[in-house]
Chain A
C-alpha cells in the first residue's frame, strides 16, 4: 500500500470509528426491542401458564373460588373477531382494489386514500364510541354484533391499505397481457391481478385479524362483556380483552391468574397468526413460481 498522508489516515480512522459507532447503535436498538419482547413473553408465560388448564378452556367465567374458566370469553372473542373480519376484510379489499385498479390517481381516489389513512390512525376508543352511537343506543343495548362492527371498522382500513400496496406491486405487464387478450377491466382484476396478489392480501387480512384480536377499547362501548355463557350476538358478549380488564383489577388471586392466562392466549394467538401470514405468503409465492 502506498504511504498515506497523515490527514488521509486521520480521515480514514474517523470514518471507520463513525461506522462502528453507528453499527453498534443499530444493533443496540434492535437488542432493546428484542429484550423487551422476550421480557413481555417471559412475564406472560410465567404468570399465565399457572392458570392454564382444560377447565380454563372449557368452563365459562364464574364466581371466584368456584373453578370458572375463560371459555365464554374465548368463544366471544372468536365470534366477534370472526364476524368483524368477515365484514371488514371484504370491504377493505374492495376499497384497496378500487384505489389501485379503478380510481388510481383520480381526485376521488385521493380523497378515499386520505380518509382511509385517517381511519387507520383513528384512536380505537373513538371507533368504539361511534359504534355505540349507531349500533348500541338505537337498538337498546350492548351486543356482540356491535362489538364485531367496531372491530370491522378497525380492520377495514388496514386491509384496504395493504391490499392497495400489494396490488401496486403486481407488474403492469400482467395487466397489459390480459388486456391484450381481450379481457375487460373486471376480468383483468378478478382473473389475473387478484390471484397474483392473493398471498399478500391474505397476509394483510391475517395481520388485521391479529390487530383486532387484541383490541379492548372498541369493545368497551359495544359488546361490553358478559360473565355468563352466551353465543347470542344480539346480547352483550364476553371477550378475552374485556375479561382481562375485568379480572386483573380484582383482589382474587384466581381471577388475576386467569387474566394472565387470557393475555397469554391472545398473545399466542396473535403470534400464530403472524407466523401463519408469513407462511401463507411464502406458500402462495412459491406456487406461482416467483
Chain B
C-alpha cells in the first residue's frame, strides 16, 4: 500500500450528479474498497434497526458513521464484526463482502471474522490484568508467536503503534486498570493491533475522554489508517470532520447520505443531512 503518496481522499473534488436519494458514492475515494455492505437489514426481535443499507468502505481510510442516537450507526458497526450475534434475538440480513467472502454468511465462523476485524469500545475496557497480559491476550489466544522473545517484541511493537510504549514501558507488569482513561483507550487499541486486524471498528472511542486524550487518540487514528481500514462511530461532528475522509449519515435506521467528509460537511446533497450537520435537527 502506498497511501502515503496519495492525495488525501477527502480533498478530491466532487461533482458526481446525484443518482438516488440514498447515495452510495464511492467515486471520491481512490483507495480500493475493503468492505462492501450489500442490502443490510438488522432486527432486534421484532424491531427493525437497519433498513437496506448499501455502502462501500474503502481501505486505508477513516470512515465516520454519524447520526442521532438510535439511528442504527452502532448497530451497523457491530454487524461488521458479527458482535450482534452475541445479542439474543438479534438478526442481520444481507451480505457483507470482505476479501471475496460474505462474512455475514451463517457458514462463516464469527470468531474468525473478529480476528480480522478488531473493535474499540466506547468505554475503555482493559482486562483486569497486567498491561503486558492485556496486549498478549490476543496473540496468546490465537497462538501468533513462536517464542517468549517474539511475544515481547509483539507487545512492544503494538504499544509503540498505539503511541503508549514510552508511558508504560517501565510498568508492563502493573495492572492495566491503573492507567488514565486516555491511556486505557490506547491500551485497548494496542491490544487490538496485536492481532494485526485488517479493519478496526471504533464505537465512540473518545466519548469518555477529555480533550487532550481525545487529541491523542485522533492523532493515533490518523496514523493507523496508513495500514488499516478504520470505521468510527461518533457523536461529535467536529471529530468526524477532523479524523475521517469518508462520512456516512444515518437516520432512523437508514443510510441517508455518504460521501467524502469534505463534501458531506460543506455541500451535502440532502437537506436532512444539512440540517443534522448544522444542528437544526428534528
CB within 8 A of A173: which of B123, B129, B137? Answer: B123
Question: Which residues of B sit under 8 angstroms from A191, Cβ to Cβ?
Answer: 137, 141
**Interface size band for B:** 20 to 34
Q: Which of B206-253 contact A (CB under 8 A)?
A: none
- Which residue numbers of A lie inside 8 Å of B, CB to CB? 171, 173-174, 176-184, 187, 191-192, 195-196, 287-290
Cross-chain pairs A/B with CB under 8 angstroms, 22 sampled: A173-B123, A174-B125, A177-B121, A177-B191, A179-B86, A180-B118, A180-B119, A181-B115, A181-B141, A182-B112, A182-B114, A182-B115, A182-B195, A183-B111, A184-B111, A191-B137, A192-B127, A287-B175, A288-B128, A288-B177, A289-B174, A290-B128
The answer on a CB contact under 8 Å between B83 and A187 is no
Known contacts A173-B125, A181-B195: A288-B175 contact under CB 8 Å: yes
Q: How far is the CB of A132 from chain B (nearest CB, A)?
A: 43
A130 to B248, CA, bound (A): 66
Q: How far is the CB of B20 from chain A (nearest CB, A)?
A: 34
Q: How far is the CB of B142 from chain A (nearest CB, A)?
A: 6
The answer on a CB contact under 8 Å between B129 and A195 is yes
The answer on a CB contact under 8 Å between B83 and A176 is yes
A-B contact count (CB 8 A): 72
Known contacts A191-B141, A287-B175, A289-B174: A180-B114 contact under CB 8 Å: yes
A214 to B83, CA, bound (A): 48
Known contacts A180-B83, A182-B138, A289-B177: A171-B114 contact under CB 8 Å: no
Question: Which residues of A sit under 8 angstroms from B273, Cβ to Cβ?
Answer: none
A288 to B130, CA, bound (A): 8
Question: Which residues of A sit under 8 angstroms from B118, Cβ to Cβ?
Answer: 180-181
Q: A178-B137, A182-B111, A182-B141 are in contact. List 16 more A-B contacts (CB 8 A).
A: A171-B125, A173-B121, A176-B83, A176-B86, A177-B127, A179-B83, A179-B86, A180-B83, A180-B121, A180-B192, A181-B114, A181-B118, A181-B141, A183-B111, A191-B137, A288-B177
